[in-house]
Structure 1
């Protein structure tokens, strides 16, 4: 790169449950980051978060690390970096179901995976497809006016539909609604955030819940939202 002053630094932290294909999933977006003049560093654990000197130079964290654990010093380093202005972005369980051992991480992100309702029991075969349901991602009024969602309308997916526990400090750009079914125990439709942003200290956090598999991440709407979300979150 000829103009180093225009270059930002991105840290990709990936790992955890292989069912979310953390290497293949993040590899989809690394070329985009490089095209946007980010230098990209890849780490396979959150240990780097404890390195204050390294984190001070990071403009954007892209995390795809599902059902893993984080040590106290690692989390404190992550939180401190975000509060100082480092952005964080991610999708699906790689950010919303990363470190179940740390409630402060859940507080930082603002939404936590709870479940993904499945098909009728008679239609289940024991594979991941048991939880692939057709559903709609619906933009909120806030989303329709947000740069991340510009030009995107409500769209359909057939994949895991995340049910998310969340607080009202998040700015919800899109939602998805879980219907009632006779084989489920809840008694009215439940709407969950599907895309949100969060301001934390001087930092920005972006989350998209679609992204269970590589093909979902290649959906043009999903890919565009994630690409824009990374740019929005970056310092």
Structure 2
């Protein structure tokens, strides 16, 4: 039986520890029969032959830059059946200057609301808030999230701008607090899938730090997302 080919692309902002974060999932991929290739930049996306032979892309690249040729290569590969998945800023805060990448993924990090100003000390923890991840009716039936109960985290809570081509499996709600300028609670997607041609995309927004990635609920969703996103049609 031919082994599935997984491509892990990592880099960008070091605050998300792209190397250590992706290393958490390499044993899972190999244990599920994937041959794993690791790249430290998106340059490989422009290699049509390499991408045609890739069944799953796991991306962990926050911010950074991508060329038009590279994003076109990634989009074409997904449309042809290559799966794409990732978590947090590594997939939905990547390549901010590329509208084509945003169009592919379907959602873009906008902000992570912070604590009351008088409680802030100047570190990343200023943006750590307690919040709930709540599964939608679709999420309670989807293979990526079925059987996972609503859960709570205390970490960055992503506010995501998105379109309606995504299938939302879980949401999170940003309350309207007195020190913030919005006037009513805002619901944001926390986990979603997207069909792009023959390909499948899964985005999981929690995952700011290693302890969040090791949360059993977060890890389950990410790992199931890898399996579900993997190519389901034969590469030509």
User: TM-score higher than 0.5 here?
Assistant: yes
Deviation track 1:3-43 (CA, whole Å, cap 9, x = no partner) reads xx241000000000000000000000010000010000000
Deviation track 1:32-68 (CA, whole Å, cap 9, x = no partner) reads 0000100000000000000001100000000000011
Deviant stretches of 4+, over 6 Å:
none
- Determine which of 17, 20, 30 is the counterpart of 1:21: 17
Tell me, in whole angstroms, the C-alpha distance in 1 between the residues paired with 2:81 and 2:147.
Answer: 28
- Determine which of 60, 63, 69 is the counterpart of 1:64: 60
- Determine which of 168, 175, 184 is the counterpart of 2:171: 175
Unaligned runs of 5+ in 1: none
SS in 1 for 2:35: strand
Over aligned residue pairs, what C-alpha RMSD do you find? 0.5
Tell me, in whole angstroms, the C-alpha distance in 2 between the residues paired with 1:148 and 1:71.
Answer: 31
- Determine which of 49, 62, 80 is the counterpart of 1:84: 80
2:234 alignment partner in structure 1: none
Aligned pair count reads 231
Unaligned runs of 5+ in 2: 232-236
1:144 lines up with 2:131 in the alignment? no
SS in 2 for 1:142: coil
1:118 alignment partner in structure 2: 114
SS in 2 for 1:198: strand
Larger fraction in helix:
1
Q: CA deviation at 1:150?
A: 1.9
Deviation track 1:180-213 (CA, whole Å, cap 9, x = no partner) reads 0010000000000000000000000000000000
